[in-house]
Chains A and B, each alone.
Chain A
């Protein structure tokens, strides 16, 4: 990835500014000086010494927030580091990311939360807002020091990668988090129902793959929304992949439960049919499901049942993925393809307007995580991306920024890309 250019005055000239709050888009130039937006208006005259970015035909939007990713540091720095991961995030337009706590050791203390934030600041790419463990060591038994971690900068709590199987522990986690007004992110998976990482259905039957049914996700989601209702707590359902889960969340929202949800680009782009060749780059948890599930996920996004789009960026080495299906770790990288896949499926697919789509990557996750809002307005800190929607490009292995290359989208022709990112006075061109 190119190093940032540090420039005093930057003019984003001739673009269309997208406001995901008002759901509008208008032609305007954006002048950034000393890391802050100085003005947003038509035809700003460029002064001497101003770096001009030609944004004609392009869009200027707030930087994206990925509320669900894995940066692998500490523990698996061979797969990804906070520096490499946040660089990859930025290349995908994400200026803030939330790494999940399934590091080694698990992120369950104040010191570890501080460590991650400091590492990201040193690297100087996307910012990091860690998700802390809700139980010590992600063991699902005893509460972690949630309050202290909030004090250090953790924005949500989860044992992601594993469910909190014990209902009493989940109840306590939900109750306790109310004191700090932070959401509990539930990785919904009833382990007892799951024999392997493939959707239980016609594809797993034909391939003889060990599998888990969609009810392993939806039944736990049902339990958790009812616990959230009972405790009056904020619950967020991670990586929704199944139609029944969408139905459960829709029902819960109608009841007034404080529940939000996310899905990932692979769940609205791919189905289980791609497993036919046993390609481990399609092995994710939860697994890719049926066309009916994929359509339900899109419908859930369309009607607001599913709030946010997250990547679940999960780096694994080639050597780990290059194995028989059962032995390969689940997960795929997602930072660098998320925007384009969503643009293809949701905007070109006429599910969302561009502004609504960008809202799901910006203000929606910010609201869920209590992060400050964004405005492309005078006085605000510059945290912007430039989007080239006309671009057609191929996700080739040599352009991957992440340390790992476990993407099922390698070689895929993409529509729309992130052309540049501006973080304060640092400009990144891609």
Chain B
């Protein structure tokens, strides 16, 4: 199986069968991760670069691990230690890195569309690891992977995304991913955090959490960004928690089979109470492990899924 695009720029560019291709491939690699020596030679000799313009521990590490588990070289490039701080443009930086001979560029950037821009100007494949408030496709894929593991399938399931929908790339990618996999999605947050025309994603909108929370199979809690806390999107953390937080009280009222996810890092006591962490159905940590498998699948399909070598590495990966 192969993806239609050379790049992974967003869930937007993936159809249902491509999403399933990635998730199935990820399942193969998830098994690899449970081995004593969790490594396959699938991408031996290849190199990718983590080009991160925004601070991120888990996503950069997850991609780095995914690469190393595939025997693929991975170098890290961060804004703080590079010529970016000397005023180098994104295009200059990308061309310089490409000239060093990398096969793929994993980019996180604060500006929406930065990966798309890059994909038009470099020969390497580009993976979007988060572009502003636009998309974060590997996060959505790992959420979908985790939910499929728990629920079997998303078909016909009801999912609720709670929080700052307007500024969340996770919300956008999850809306696209969940609906393409057949789930019925609702979003909930204060009206100040709901972007205009979000219904065009085919979702319902709720301003009050208690009107929808107890009717869903999946609750995807979003992180409250620190800068929103100081803007006028909501009055106080106390009030946010009271109306939109997954509090211990709400948790007690939830049916036991309801699955809770969060992209992390969690602001404990804001969008989720500490009690949620102790609950086995909160999938924050399994999500992280699955993230490595999903990113292995993405790198593998983009870098190696083609030609004789690709075919060979693929069979090795499955052996």
Name which residue of chain A comes closest to B90, CB basis: A324
Contact B198 A205 (CB under 8 A): yes
Contact A322 B91 (CB under 8 A): yes
Contacts of B133 in A (CB 8 A): 208-210
Q: Indicate if A123 sits at the interface (CB-CB under 8 A).
A: no
Q: Mark B89-106, 1 if CB is under 8 A from A, else 0.
A: 111000000000000000
- Complex Cα distance A200/B192, Å? 13
Q: Indicate if A323 sits at the interface (CB-CB under 8 A).
A: yes
Contacts of B135 in A (CB 8 A): 208
Name which residue of chain A comes closest to B165, CB basis: A205
Contacts of B117 in A (CB 8 A): 278, 323-325
Kindly provide the distance from the CB of A88 to the nearest chain B CB, expressed in whole angstroms. Answer: 26
Q: Indicate if B195 sits at the interface (CB-CB under 8 A).
A: yes
Name which residue of chain B comes closest to A277, CB basis: B116
Q: Mark B195-206, 1 if CB is under 8 A from A, else 0.
A: 111101000000
Q: Indicate if A201 sits at the interface (CB-CB under 8 A).
A: yes
Contact A205 B195 (CB under 8 A): yes
Contacts of B200 in A (CB 8 A): 202, 205-206
Range, interface on chain B: 20 to 34
Kindly provide the distance from the CB of B129 to the nearest chain A CB, expressed in whole angstroms. Answer: 14
Contact A326 B196 (CB under 8 A): no
When A323-B117, A324-B111 are in contact, do A208 and B169 touch as well, CB less than 8 Å? yes
Kindly provide the distance from the CB of B46 to the nearest chain A CB, expressed in whole angstroms. Answer: 26
Kindly provide the distance from the CB of B225 to the nearest chain A CB, expressed in whole angstroms. Answer: 13
Contact of A324 among B109, B195, B196 (CB under 8 A): B109
- Complex Cα distance A322/B120, Å? 11
Kindly provide the distance from the CB of B214 to the nearest chain A CB, expressed in whole angstroms. Answer: 27
Kindly provide the distance from the CB of A131 to the nearest chain B CB, expressed in whole angstroms. Answer: 32
Kindly provide the distance from the CB of B5 to the nearest chain A CB, expressed in whole angstroms. Answer: 14
When A208-B135, A323-B91 are in contact, do A201 and B113 touch as well, CB less than 8 Å? no
Contact A201 B196 (CB under 8 A): yes
Contacts of A208 in B (CB 8 A): 112, 131-135, 169, 172
Q: Indicate if A327 sits at the interface (CB-CB under 8 A).
A: yes
- Complex Cα distance A278/B116, Å? 8
> Which residues A301-353 have CB closer than 8 A to chain B?
319, 322-327
Contacts of B116 in A (CB 8 A): 277-278
Contact of A326 among B111, B169, B172, B198 (CB under 8 A): B111
Contact of A278 among B91, B112, B195, B196 (CB under 8 A): B112
Contact B90 A202 (CB under 8 A): no
Contacts of B132 in A (CB 8 A): 208-210, 326
Q: Mark A208-238, 1 if CB is under 8 A from B, else 0.
A: 1110010000000000000000000000000
Q: Indicate if B76 sits at the interface (CB-CB under 8 A).
A: no
Contact A325 B113 (CB under 8 A): yes
- Complex Cα distance A210/B195, Å? 11
Q: Indicate if B153 sits at the interface (CB-CB under 8 A).
A: no
Kindly provide the distance from the CB of A359 to the nearest chain B CB, expressed in whole angstroms. Answer: 37
Name which residue of chain A comes closest to B12, CB basis: A206
Name which residue of chain A comes closest to B196, CB basis: A201
Contact of A207 among B109, B112, B196 (CB under 8 A): B112
Q: Mark B213-237, 1 if CB is under 8 A from A, else 0.
A: 0000000000000000000000000
Q: Indicate if A13 sits at the interface (CB-CB under 8 A).
A: no
Kindly provide the distance from the CB of B194 to the nearest chain A CB, expressed in whole angstroms. Answer: 9
Contact of A323 among B89, B134, B195 (CB under 8 A): B89
Contacts of A322 in B (CB 8 A): 91, 121
When A208-B172, A325-B117 are in contact, do A200 and B196 touch as well, CB less than 8 Å? yes
Contacts of B197 in A (CB 8 A): 201-202, 205
- Complex Cα distance A247/B89, Å? 42
Highest count of chain A CB atoms <10 Å: which of B89, B131, B196: B196
Contacts of A205 in B (CB 8 A): 166, 195-198, 200
Contacts of B113 in A (CB 8 A): 207, 209, 277-278, 324-325
B interface list, Cβ under 8 A from A: 12, 89-91, 109-114, 116-117, 121, 131-135, 166, 169, 172, 195-198, 200
- Give 4 closest A-B pairs by Cβ, nearest first: A278-B113, A208-B134, A202-B197, A208-B133
In the assembled complex, 10 residue pairs joining A and B whose CB atoms fall closer than 8 Å, in A order, are: A202-B200, A208-B133, A209-B132, A209-B133, A277-B116, A278-B116, A324-B90, A324-B109, A325-B112, A327-B90
A interface list, Cβ under 8 A from B: 200-202, 204-210, 213, 277-278, 319, 322-327
